[in-house]
Structure 1
């Protein structure tokens, strides 16, 4: 308890020096606190960021950058260290790394308009912004996702309740229960569950005509599983952005292990779907779409066909034409 009180007093003193712009004194105190091994990882990230600020304001830019990178290493899913590292890399002239860090910050907080603005300022071709974010999402996913993380019984219960309300088209109650499911998540690394729940929340918001919120949740869903083409289909349907269509096609043509190797092809242009059978199915579904069948206005049939679920598509088409 005494150690905890001492630590809090030191942090308060460091903040007081920072407010007075006595950066060297603040820096020294943060440095002393960070030497303690008992500091929790969550607090360590915050302290490293503040330590980085003190170093930067004291004219020690490269040491500040190291502090921000150490914060990223401590918690790779926290957005603030990426933002400050990006700003500093940009200031130091390394635009390519600044792009990467801005994209990583966006993945964690896609609703932050200022981050999108900053990324656009360091990207010559603004049409490639979504592709840069996608590229960094895949790298993040491959490095940090865990398939077998226990998501907790609370998440499963409330997700089940939410699904029942969604089937009854009670979108508001469904959304509220999906939100409860996320709050019961025991581990932020249960990526597959979070991917699915955020996608469902996007559906709920879309049905409630909250299109900006729907886009936000679809983007969050994509951040937890950027290799799922279906979520990009929903984003394309919602925003009309051709970048999402390109990403969807790119994913449909590739296996996970080949994605990073093929990134340059994504930036060169739109990959084409080469499977004739899928193209035929797409044509059939376009006919259905002309007859006001909303579910075929996006590329879901392509996704299902690639997963060899042609039975679902053909069954629904037959039912429609009857």
Structure 2
């Protein structure tokens, strides 16, 4: 398949700039894998499509306020850092601009709370830096950092918690697992009361999520690598759900990629483990674990629209996206939801 096969025309005004309030009042397009039939609902109706004994798997990763602004120690010239991944204690891989200022040995100061020394320049232009500070690093980030909103969101976020899921717990993502932004604590409690299990995996979302596919032949694209973790409790719950003939729903493509990575590595079995995944799911992939998917509407020609096409069928997904545009659904991170059943 070609990357251009996944193009669709999206009017700029359909790119959501602010989140809906309350969270679960966003619209939801429900797509049947079997028939391709489309139903228009709201997210709070998600409970109607879940049965007792089914399991929802959420990604409990929490977004770092990873964008920080500072100055070069000797000259005072301005610098912007975007923290990408913690390599070891106080050592991070970062993006910075302007990059020409950040040579090995150069030091930068951030609000007199953090100081960073550049250790290395990587081949792709990213830097490895070591931070020096007093106190708790993540508490300092909470004070001085800003949410690394995707480039297509141009409005300032008034409440930083609106770019976190209500169940976020494990700090480490450079972007939110946005399918989960629709859940409220009250809706999750109603789902549990219906007898539906809710369990978490952790996958720390990297900025590679927004990296465009630059090759014409889809199969030649190389995915970025992201860290994931599945606990023994979650692995056991998924196994029991399958044994009982019930369904496993992934909340978001990150949860999906985590489950399918482990399932692919272990002949369809889910085991407790942590590691890195660069799994690339596109049409032709045979799903090993998930039976349903809750997701948002994704960018044209992105790896994410390729993943949902693999799950629901290329023709069904492209038709669903054309329908969503026609019906003026809101797209991308703060947009509306799609449930594939």
The TM-score, its normalising length taken from structure 2, stands at 0.27
Q: Name which structure has the greater RCO, CA cutoff 8 Å, separation 6+.
A: 2
Q: Is the radius of gyration larger for structure 1 or structure 2?
A: 1
Larger proportion of strand: 2
Larger proportion of helix: 1
